[in-house]
Structure 1
Amino acid sequence: MAYQPSKKLKKTVLGVGAGAVLVGLNAPAALGFAEERYYEYKIAQPAYQAKYGSWTQVDIPARYRTNAIHAALLHTGKVLIVAGSGNEQKKFDKGSFDTVLWDPRANTFKKIATPDDFFCSGHAALPDGRLLVAGGTARYELLDGEVDRPGGGMRVKNENPDKVVTLKKGTRFRSPAGVEYVSKFDVTVPKALRENKITYGKSGQMQPWQTTVTASEARVFVEAVEEGPQSVTDKQAQYEIVGLSGKDADNTYGLSEQITLDKQDFQGIRAAYEFDPTAEKYIPVDPMRKARWYPTLVGLDDGRVLAVSGLDDVGAIDPGDNEIYDPRTKKWTMGPHRYFPTYPALFLTEGGKLFYPASNAGYGPADQGREPGLWDLKTNKFKKIPGLADIDQTETSSSLLLPPAQDQKVMILGGGGVGESKKATRRTAVVDLKKDNPAFVNGPDLPQGTRYLNSVIMPDDSVFTTNGSTDYRGRSASNVLKAQFYDPKRNAFRDAASPRVGRNYHSEALLLPDGRVATFGSDPLFDDQQNTKLGHFEQRMEIFTPPALLKNRTGRPVLGAGPDTLTANRRATFATEHTDRITGARLMRPSAVTHTTDVEQRSIALTLTRTKDSLTVEVPDDRTLVPPGWYMLFVTDAEGTPSEAKWIKVP
């Protein structure tokens, strides 16, 4: 008779079998858990951190968490984190705009009253330490299929030389056929221009004055009163302004541009403010002449600031009507005309020319403004620079003036195709602008194709690069949880500790005065690999502590008392007990970064003179190399260990 196990034995066998099956099923999870525990152990070891650095997360009280769209380091050592409406239309509709001031030393936060929507504005440091903030959001986009009322631009003409005309939001414009459009914003139209001309008769005698009047104009976005295609027009016509009569009606009227049911892009504002780091508040200044959304602001060698590109007040990319802000008069004047895609990276170089490495953050056709070159503002000539590989993948790339600035080398890292392209490149390239015929030369590849990479110049002349994604806005869970250092002398990368928080679109990184790097933001399109769950803005902040601050047992070099303003002889002397230990000094301009674009940061090598108990640094006397403003002064030892920064104002 065949053997039959007992009921008890059956239960035992079944129990063991079930346990074995469960262990088998859970093996990957158990292995993953074990690997995670080991990884956490490994990265916490002093030897690991001394080689690769370490990351810590910032503890942010709930009421101060915000969507970090822009970040700028101020000469007070605090970081201005600007969100505006933060890419949240509900906040925009409520008029709820955020700015948070963070003190990294005390890890304290303060909310700043924000008078306009600075979401996707531009910013640059001014010589006195204030931060110029200009542009932002007038209206959120409407995608294809969301537009039910035709919209477009209406040019408002004023033929009265004695009167400025202001039309409030909601003003109606009526066509000869009775079709009406309503303005979505206030619009102010300057006085018409009156010119008196002298003419002479055939005999040479002066004739009576002849007066000519040239109408002024301003543009405003309008929408049709009625829904549907019957209000679409691509013809220019003259529109009466409902409510005006008599001479006012004769002198003031509308001329329509294309009014369509097409997708309506974000629209910019003209507003400009200076943020005062001492009073810790925004102070209004004259608005820009053009509305701008996604503009670049770049400081010039004379302390003025150039505003470039952006989407205008009807959502069209600016054709090249750049303008210049003078911090002495608080006014704007028109600058040289040149087209760029939005948020172009423009670096001030020796001699005053601006170098465009083709880095930009989007908006604009693929066949315009995508080639790198040197722009001479005085002659408005643009010299193209050859040699850049993957030139169709410069959007959302990172770029910087490599340290030290005296070398005049510019690097571009990564990037992707135009718009929502899936393309992303591993390419890095460097151009030496000191050469007679400069051209890009390929550098070492990134570990993978990367968009939205952030790059930060360090006091030891290395470049710390971190985060990004391999696809548009982190699509398909494509965040890159990696960081590395680039060594300009060796033209090579070395690994750094990996960040724990993924960051792509709307992320920033900047150097703090204590030598650490702070990272902010990220605005993924989706929250899952399948791209089915809409993304949520990343409000966590991480700080990277570089290996140089973790491996040196003797501590870091220290600068003692010294001036906070550079003297006329371009020298500054500081007390120190570490004279023999200090091997280098760098003057570092603080960052103002958004959309991976940071044209402010630069590092200048300084000449050192030592005494027994002091150190004197000498700053180059070239404003195109060292634009006026506040800088961080770092000294380093032979191992690259930096001091904490001393702030010094360069006139």
Structure 2
Amino acid sequence: MTPRPWISRRDRRGIAQALVLTLLLVLLSPVRPASASVNLLVNAGFETLDSTGFPLCWERSGWGDNTYTFDVDHPGRTGANAMRITVSATGGGDRKAMMLENPSCAPNVTPGHQYDLSAWYTSTTPNTVVTAFRRDVAQGWVYWTDLVSLAPVTAWTEVSVRTPPVPPGTEQVVWGVTVYGTGVLRTDDYAMVDATQPTPDLSCSAGEACAKGAWKVMPFEAPVRGIHAVVLHDGDVLLVAGSGNSEETFEAGAFTTAIYHPRTGTFTDVPTPADLFCAGHVQLPDGRVLIMGGNKDYPAADLSHGYKGLRDSYVFDPATMSYERVNDMSGGSWYPSATIMGNGDVIALGGLGEDSSGTVATQYFDYSEERWLGIGEANQTWSFWGLYPSMILMRDGRLFYSGSHVFGNGLPGTGSSIYDYQAGTITPVPGLQNKDERDQSMSVLLPPAQDQRVLTLGGGNIDTNPDANALTDIIDLRQPSPAHTPGPPLPAAKMYVSAVLLPDGRVFETGGALHNRADPVFEASMFDPVTNTFTPGMAVDPVPRGYHSSAFLLPDGRVMAVGDNPGDGSFDMRISVYTPPYLFHGARPQILGGVDTAWAYGSSHTVTVDGPILRAALIRPAAVTHSSDPNQRFVDLPMSVDGDEIGLNLTSNPNLAPPGWYMLFLLGTNGVPTVAEWVRVG
């Protein structure tokens, strides 16, 4: 967990003495069973001080290189005392008004329950956030989550927020207000009450679909090969084929794109300016789609060259349903990755260049100038990252290369690393299993993004073509020295696997094949990030989904799957749609009235609903190809609840929720999500 200042023996002795002197207070502490409307906190108003003059059951917490003081301010909002933190200089780190991690001080909690937290504060800095830690049976005290950012205020102001459901294995929690910038924070009158809603009736009359969900193959086919799929912020789906892995189509210059309209089951053809087959793509902050590179040429019959990458780059505009040319990249790119950064810029890495060799340049798109920087303008490490390397933006602005890639062996060394664009450094990350057999595995930033955990699933190797594996790896990027650890095996071994983040916080994995472009695997499962377990036996897509297949979330909470390109050169044009089990468990909650569409970082927004809500989240819409969507993420929205009005609190960190359009989902206590509302972050 976050480092804390050393507590002297004198302080410990003083705390112990104060605990004895305040036996009655301790007896009223949260070791008793939690019940609704009872404040579970000890010394919530700071009125009892220990022998050092500091509030009993609270500590001087924090880490990093900063200049600070903790003291007791007089008078408090109510009573004699308030806690004050003054940070006069900071070189990193934070200070926390945090309750003591002591069995008699930290409130006991019940896994699965939610708690309403509240406190009063004044602050001279916007760099404040409510932070929670939890005591896990196996791990001890660990960071849990940041709940809500606080605006500067001069008069006493109450902040209230509801926690997510307490994870399994959690015995106690502590929480408080964190200051990570210079300024003065005062807090007083904390409260914590059990806000758990009664368990709703989860009966279901849909048979197997109640537990497994159900697939439907659409009664029509796509007019283009679904090599690339992007969910646009109007709910339509952009399907890009280019030449679609057909040399005859390439020679004819018959490049194709279509927009699928799920609400009507219709398509709109879009003129396609170049062979965008195996290009990179990412959604820009304004909802347009940046597409980079593609196919300049297929391999020569005499083997004098392989695939060649294009320099071309385009922006697709959903408003006009057309491509617009932007300046060329500094080099050709076939199979490049693309990751949006916290400032809205884009970094593209990897792929093959115009001469069929590996691209070693870092290519950087400046969103404000709407252009690719020149080769000398972008920071360079001259490193080759493979093809479609999975590059996931971390909360501190660095990129995590998970080891998921396309075509053959992984990179030399550990096969995984952390890339700091600003510093120009690459730090190896240990622990990835069988790095040379993670070809067309898939990696996802697990829900919620605030937890910074990445899951990598399956994979194979198209060169040596062994049986695909059932390996999974999990990494916690919050650790000082992150390392992969083995996760639970997939229920079935597969490469070309698709993994989709769902509104209930689980990951649906589907599709795949046992060998290179052969032997489809008909299996699907659900992964629960809370318990780190797979639930096997989900309903299976009846259409094979191997090479050049994708699955992705629709705004109505269903999952759409496209594509399959086996070794005989054919392509399956059928579209399948999966209805997850949650849609069979009762009525959807409804968001009543309009929703603000413009969301600034650190802001709060109120929505009105027609029933009790368990959780709220933003999910970034898909831009997926070749088992790769490094920008897919689920951002928790801590809630404050007042009857049918739900306050939603957005993180202040743009690296956790990069700017752009998101699907806003609210999850009812029956586990059923709303239809998404679209909001623009940034």
- TM-score computed with the length of structure 2 as normaliser: 0.67
Q: Which residue of 240, 245, 253 corresponds with 1:82?
A: 240
* 8 Å Cα contact 2:462/2:516 also seen in 1: no
Q: Which residue of 352, 373, 393 corresponds with 1:311?
A: 352
Matched, 1:562 2:595: yes
* 8 Å Cα contact 2:414/2:429 also seen in 1: no
- Cα deviation for residue 418 of structure 1 reads 5.2
Counterpart Cα distance in 2 of 1:600 and 1:102: 21
Report the residue type matching 1:352 in the other structure. G
Q: Render the CA deviation track for 1:444-503: whole Å, top value 9, x for unaligned.
A: 1112321000000001110000010011112xxx10111110011111111310110011
* Structure with the higher strand share, 1 or 2: 2
* 8 Å Cα contact 1:341/1:370 also seen in 2: no
Change (3 A) 1:568 1:454: closer
Counterpart Cα distance in 2 of 1:137 and 1:606: 40
Counterparts of 1:372-521 in structure 2 under 5 Å?
Answer: 372-417=416-461, 419-474=463-518, 478-494=519-535, 495-521=537-563
- Cα deviation for residue 368 of structure 1 reads 3.2
Matched, 1:321 2:354: no
Aligned to 1:352: 397
Counterpart Cα distance in 1 of 2:491 and 2:304: 37
Does the residue aligned with 2:654 lie in a helix, a strand or coil?
coil
Matched, 1:284 2:325: yes
Q: Which residue of 111, 118, 130 corresponds with 2:269?
A: 111
- Cα deviation for residue 73 of structure 1 reads 0.6
Matched, 1:138 2:183: no
Q: Which residue of 49, 52, 58 corresponds with 2:209?
A: 49
- Cα deviation for residue 551 of structure 1 reads 2.3
Change (3 A) 1:559 1:501: farther
Report the residue type matching 2:316 in the other structure. F
Aligned to 1:67: 225
- Cα deviation for residue 395 of structure 1 reads 1.1
Does the residue aligned with 1:400 lie in a helix, a strand or coil?
strand
- Cα deviation for residue 392 of structure 1 reads 2.0
Q: Which moved more, 1:406-415 or 1:429-438?
A: 429-438
- Cα deviation for residue 611 of structure 1 reads 2.8
* 8 Å Cα contact 1:557/1:641 also seen in 2: no
Aligned to 1:606: 637
Report the residue type matching 1:349 in the other structure. M
Counterparts of 1:101-250 in structure 2 under 5 Å?
Answer: 101-142=259-300, 146-147=301-302
- Cα deviation for residue 575 of structure 1 reads 2.4
Does the residue aligned with 1:548 lie in a helix, a strand or coil?
helix
- Cα deviation for residue 559 of structure 1 reads 4.7
Report the residue type matching 2:367 in the other structure. P
Counterpart Cα distance in 2 of 1:135 and 1:441: 35
Aligned to 1:368: 412
- Cα deviation for residue 371 of structure 1 reads 1.1
Q: Render the CA deviation track for 1:312-346: whole Å, top value 9, x for unaligned.
A: 1121111x211101122121123432220110000
Q: Which residue of 521, 539, 542 corresponds with 2:573?
A: 539
Counterpart Cα distance in 1 of 2:486 and 2:410: 22
Report the residue type matching 1:510 in the other structure. F
Aligned to 1:646: 677
- Cα deviation for residue 131 of structure 1 reads 0.4
Does the residue aligned with 1:493 lie in a helix, a strand or coil?
strand
Aligned to 1:593: 624
- Cα deviation for residue 60 of structure 1 reads 2.7
Does the residue aligned with 1:392 lie in a helix, a strand or coil?
helix
* 8 Å Cα contact 2:414/2:430 also seen in 1: no
- Cα deviation for residue 419 of structure 1 reads 2.7
Counterpart Cα distance in 2 of 1:297 and 1:539: 26
| Structure 2 gap segments, 5+ residues each | 1-203
Counterparts of 1:258-273 in structure 2 under 5 Å?
Answer: 262-273=303-314
Report the residue type matching 2:403 in the other structure. A
* 8 Å Cα contact 1:85/1:97 also seen in 2: yes
Counterpart Cα distance in 1 of 2:610 and 2:661: 25
* 8 Å Cα contact 1:577/1:613 also seen in 2: yes
Identity in percent: 35
Does the residue aligned with 2:517 lie in a helix, a strand or coil?
helix
| Structure 1 gap segments, 5+ residues each | 1-43, 148-261, 526-533
Counterpart Cα distance in 1 of 2:486 and 2:347: 30
Counterpart Cα distance in 1 of 2:247 and 2:592: 48
Q: Structure with the greater relative contact order (CA < 8 A, sep ≥ 6): 1 or 2?
A: 1
Counterpart Cα distance in 2 of 1:118 and 1:535: 18
Aligned to 2:339: 298
- Cα deviation for residue 422 of structure 1 reads 2.2
Report the residue type matching 1:617 in the other structure. L
The structure 1 segments of at least 4 consecutive aligned residues displaced by more than 3 Å after TM superposition are: 365-370, 554-560
* 8 Å Cα contact 1:452/1:468 also seen in 2: yes
Change (3 A) 1:569 1:348: closer
Counterpart Cα distance in 1 of 2:588 and 2:362: 48
Q: Which residue of 649, 654, 658 corresponds with 1:618?
A: 649
Does the residue aligned with 1:307 lie in a helix, a strand or coil?
strand
Matched, 1:340 2:385: yes
Aligned to 2:659: 628
* 8 Å Cα contact 1:69/1:521 also seen in 2: yes
Report the residue type matching 2:420 in the other structure. D
Does the residue aligned with 1:124 lie in a helix, a strand or coil?
strand
* 8 Å Cα contact 1:361/1:597 also seen in 2: no
Does the residue aligned with 2:437 lie in a helix, a strand or coil?
coil
Does the residue aligned with 1:112 lie in a helix, a strand or coil?
strand
Does the residue aligned with 1:51 lie in a helix, a strand or coil?
helix
* 8 Å Cα contact 2:638/2:648 also seen in 1: yes
* 8 Å Cα contact 1:122/1:133 also seen in 2: yes
* 8 Å Cα contact 1:359/1:398 also seen in 2: yes
* 8 Å Cα contact 1:51/1:551 also seen in 2: no
Q: Which moved more, 1:600-609 or 1:324-333?
A: 324-333
Report the residue type matching 2:550 in the other structure. E
- Cα deviation for residue 417 of structure 1 reads 2.3
Counterpart Cα distance in 1 of 2:422 and 2:600: 30
- Cα deviation for residue 630 of structure 1 reads 0.6
Aligned to 2:583: 549
Aligned to 1:179: none
* 8 Å Cα contact 1:341/1:369 also seen in 2: no
Aligned to 1:157: none
Report the residue type matching 1:576 in the other structure. V
Q: Render the CA deviation track for 1:186-237: whole Å, top value 9, x for unaligned.
A: xxxxxxxxxxxxxxxxxxxxxxxxxxxxxxxxxxxxxxxxxxxxxxxxxxxx
* 8 Å Cα contact 2:588/2:673 also seen in 1: no
Counterparts of 1:572-587 in structure 2 under 5 Å?
Answer: 572-578=605-611, 581-587=612-618
* 8 Å Cα contact 1:559/1:643 also seen in 2: no
Which structure: larger Rg?
A: 1
